[in-house]
Structure 1
C-alpha cells in the first residue's frame, strides 16, 4: 500500500526536444522523496535546462508556492537522449506546482520559458518542435505562450491553447479550462487565396519591387516569367548595369502561391536558424555574398549541424550574384542540392537532411572586366582571361541550369510588362499544374512525373529527337527542356506541348 501511495505522487507531462531538425518526444516526470530539501533534474539535461532551476524557483515564488521540506526530482525520459532548450521551464514548474493536487496534465505537450516574475516567454525552438510533432502525432494538444499562439494555430490538425503566466497555466489544468474553451477560428494568412481540388494556396498581391521599373529587356522578362511559373533555375549574363540583379530581386514577388504546409516548413527552417519571421505567403529570398564560406551556405557546425542558406531558401529563391566569383568548393557542392533537392549534413554527433527545393538564380558578367557585350566600352580582357573566368562554372553545373539569358545594354524607355501582369500569367500556369494533379511545380518534377505530365504532340516529339541529336543534349538536359516546355504550354493554357512551346524552351538553353 505504501508503494502505491509513493507511485501516485509521480506526476507526468510531455515536452519535446530537437535533435537536428526533428523533434523527439520527452516524458517529464516529477516526484517528492523523503530526503534533505533539494531540487535536481536528471536525464541528460544540458546547461540551459539545469539553469532553469533558479528561474523555476523564482517563478513559483511569484504564485506563492511553498516548497516542501522534501527533495524534488525531475526526470526527463528517455535518459539516453540529450535534451536542450529553455522551453522545458514551464512543464517542470507546472509539475512541481501541482505535485499535491488531484488533477493531471499528462495529455498535453507543454512548452514555454519562464521569467523570474512568472511570465511565460516564447523561444525560437518551440515552433519547429511542434510542427515536427504534428507531422506524426494525431490530435496533438499543446500549451504554449500566448505570443506564439496565432502562429501555432495555423498548423493543421492541432489543438493549441495559450497562457500568459505560470498562474494561468496552473488554473488552466486545475479548472479544466481546455474543456470549456471553444475552438478559435483560424485567421487566414492573407486575403488572397486559391482553392484547387480541396486545397488552399496563398499568395501576396503587393509588388514593392515592380518589373515596370526594368525598362526594355522583353526577352529577359519573358524568361523570368517562365522561371517563376515553373520554379526553373536560371542564369543571367550581361554587362554591369544592364539590370541582372535588379530583375532577379523582383522575381520573389511574382512566384506562385504556396500551401500552408510549405509556408510552415519554410518558417520552421528560419526558427531553427534563430531568425524570427511572421507567417507570410511571400516566398523566401536568400542572396549570400560571393565571399561566403561553404558551411554558411550549405550548413554545418562543429557539434550541431545548423541550416545554411540553401535550407533557408527552401520553397523560395537562392540568388548568387557574381556567380563565377564564388569559391570552387561552393560551386561544385551545388550539384546535389540542385539535382536531388536535398542536402545531407554529416557530423560526428548528427546527420541531418534538409529539403532544398528552391529556384536557383545566378547573375554573372561576360568577362572579368564586364565589357565584352558592351557597345560603348571596350573589353580589356584577353581570350585566356575570359576562358579562365567562364571555366570557373563547370559543365555539370551549367547542365543543371534551365534557362540562360544573355542580356544586352538597352536604352529603351518602354516599361513593358508590370509585375501584376506577369503574375496573372503565372497564376494561370499554376492552376494548370495543380489541376493536373501535380504535387510539385514543373521545374521540380522527378523523372517519372516528367514523362507522365510532359506529353508532346507528334510534331513536337519529332523536333525534340532532332534537337537531341543535333545539340548533343544529355538525358538530364532533355528532361529540363521538357519541363520548361511544359511550363510554356501551361502559360499558353495548352494541355499538350506543341512545337512552338518546345522551340522556345530550346532557345533558352545555353549552347
Structure 2
C-alpha cells in the first residue's frame, strides 16, 4: 500500500496525520462511504487512542481563517482548544475504532462537541466584541512612589507605546514592567486565538484568557532566540511570540548591539521576515517594547544613598551602547529616582485599567484599526490634528531639539493618547507639553 502526501516539495513533520492515514487504510474497501467534507486530525497511540498534538490547533485556525475548513474530527483534548474557533463544527472521537464508527454513522450530530463561551468581561464597540479580565495577579498599588513612571505606564498601556525606564537598581523598573501585562487594552477574539496559536507552536500550554503575552528574554539570549531562526527551517523567536503583547528587555544596554540594531525593523514595520534554506516566514510583530536600564555601569549615578563609582567616560561609553536610531523608536522615556518618601498617591491596577479601557473605547469609536502607538503616517494626519498655537509649540521643539520626522510622529501619537486619557476630543496644548516631557533628548 502506498500513502501519498502531496505536494511532495513541502516538508511534512508531526504526528497529526496519523488518524487520517490510518482511517483511509481501514476504510479502503468501503467505496460507498463519503467523508470528504470532514478534516481529521490526531496522533495515534499503539492501542488506537487518539491524542492531541501541538500543531493541530494552529493548522485548524489557519484553515478556518481562509474558509477552507468547516468540520473537524479530533480527540476531546483537541476539541477543548478548537472549540474557541468560530464558524466551525467539531466532532469528537477518542479511538481509531470510534473514528471508523463515526464515518459510517448516519447521525453524526451525536459526536458534535458543545462549545463553551469565553467567560470574561465583554465590550461591544461597532459590532465587534472585545474581552478583558479584572484579575490582577500583580498590582500597581505595590509600587511605592514613582508617579511619573506609573503615568507613563498608563500611557504605554492605553496607546501601545514603546517605553524605556532609567533608574538605579531597586527603584521599581521591573515591578512596573511586570504589572503592565494586566492593564493592557482588551483583546478581540482574533488576538486571543493568535496568542493561543503562538503558544501551541511554542509547545506551551494554550491559554485563552484575554491577558496579553509578556516575554522577558535574558540579555544573554542569542540573536536566533530573540528573532527566530534554526539551521534549515525558520522558527519563531521572542519577537514573534510577543505579538499583541509586551516584549520586555531588562538591563537594556547589556544586550548585544547586533540584537538592539536588528530590533529596529520589527519596531518600525511591525513585521519580521525569517529566511532559511527550506522556508521563509513573515511574522507579525505588533508588540509593545518595554525596557529598563541603569544610569551607569555601577547603577548608582541616580542613587540618593550610594555613591557612583563610574568615571564620566565609563558612563558615556555605557550609554553609547544604545544608538540614536534605536532610541528614536522609543515613545516614552522616564528617569526614575530611588526616593520613596512620596507614598500618598497610591494607584491600583484596577484604576489604571479602567482609564486604559476608556481610552481604548475612544480610539475604537473614532474608527481606528490600530491603537495610537501603531498609527501609520496617513492615520497620524487624520487623528492627531493640532490647532495653530499647539502647532507652533511643536515647531519650536523641533528646531530647539533637532527632532527627526520619526520623533515628531512619536510625540504626536503620545499626545493623542494623553488626550484620550484626559477625554479630550482634540490634542490640547497641555497634552502636547506632557508628550514632549516624555521624549528623550
Does residue 442 (structure 1) correspond to residue 372 (structure 2)? The answer is yes
Partner of 2:90: 160
1: CA distance between counterparts of 2:65 and 2:409?
A: 32
Superposition deviation, residue 162 in structure 1: 2.0
What is the TM-score normalised by the length of structure 1? 0.84
Of the three residues 145, 162, 171, the one matched with 1:242 is 171
Q: Determine if contact 1:290/1:323 at 8 Å carries over to the other structure.
A: yes
Superposition deviation, residue 276 in structure 1: 2.1
Partner of 1:74: 3
2: CA distance between counterparts of 1:123 and 1:183?
A: 18
Matches within 5 A, 1:424-503: 424-503=354-433
Q: Determine if contact 1:228/1:426 at 8 Å carries over to the other structure.
A: yes
Superposition deviation, residue 228 in structure 1: 0.5
Partner of 1:322: 251
2: CA distance between counterparts of 1:139 and 1:290?
A: 42
Q: Determine if contact 2:304/2:339 at 8 Å carries over to the other structure.
A: no
Partner of 2:440: 510
Range with bigger deviation, 236-245 or 96-105: 96-105
1: CA distance between counterparts of 2:5 and 2:195?
A: 30
Root mean square deviation, CA, Å: 1.4
Q: Determine if contact 2:191/2:244 at 8 Å carries over to the other structure.
A: yes
2: CA distance between counterparts of 1:422 and 1:234?
A: 16
Partner of 1:132: 62
Partner of 1:170: 100
Superposition deviation, residue 138 in structure 1: 4.7
Alignment deviations for residues 302-348 of structure 1 (CA, whole Å, 9 cap, x no partner): 01111001111111100000000001111111100100011111111
Gaps in structure 2 of 5+ consecutive residues: none
Superposition deviation, residue 447 in structure 1: 1.2
Deviating beyond 4 angstroms after TM superposition, the runs of 4 or more aligned structure 1 residues are 179-183
Superposition deviation, residue 159 in structure 1: 2.1
Partner of 1:346: 275
1: CA distance between counterparts of 2:284 and 2:48?
A: 38
Superposition deviation, residue 188 in structure 1: 2.6
2: CA distance between counterparts of 1:411 and 1:492?
A: 27
SS at match of 2:2: strand
Alignment deviations for residues 212-239 of structure 1 (CA, whole Å, 9 cap, x no partner): 0001111111000000101100100001
Partner of 2:220: 291
Range with bigger deviation, 205-214 or 173-182: 173-182
Superposition deviation, residue 137 in structure 1: 2.3
Alignment deviations for residues 127-174 of structure 1 (CA, whole Å, 9 cap, x no partner): 111111112125522112211212212212222222211122111111
Does residue 369 (structure 1) correspond to residue 298 (structure 2)? The answer is yes
Of the three residues 48, 71, 85, the one matched with 1:141 is 71
Superposition deviation, residue 454 in structure 1: 1.5
Superposition deviation, residue 373 in structure 1: 0.8
Q: 1:482 to 1:178 in 2, by over 3 A?
A: farther
Of the three residues 189, 201, 206, the one matched with 2:135 is 206
SS at match of 1:76: coil
Partner of 1:113: 43
Superposition deviation, residue 179 in structure 1: 5.0
Q: Determine if contact 2:92/2:113 at 8 Å carries over to the other structure.
A: no
2: CA distance between counterparts of 1:469 and 1:160?
A: 61
SS at match of 1:73: coil
1: CA distance between counterparts of 2:62 and 2:380?
A: 30
For the pair shown, which has the larger CA radius of gyration, 1 or 2?
1
Partner of 1:251: 180
Does residue 94 (structure 1) correspond to residue 23 (structure 2)? The answer is yes
Superposition deviation, residue 423 in structure 1: 0.5
2: CA distance between counterparts of 1:382 and 1:344?
A: 41
SS at match of 1:354: strand
Of the three residues 285, 303, 313, the one matched with 1:384 is 313
Does residue 261 (structure 1) correspond to residue 190 (structure 2)? The answer is yes
Partner of 1:420: 350
Q: Determine if contact 1:270/1:312 at 8 Å carries over to the other structure.
A: yes
Matches within 5 A, 1:306-321: 306-321=235-250
Q: Determine if contact 2:164/2:332 at 8 Å carries over to the other structure.
A: yes
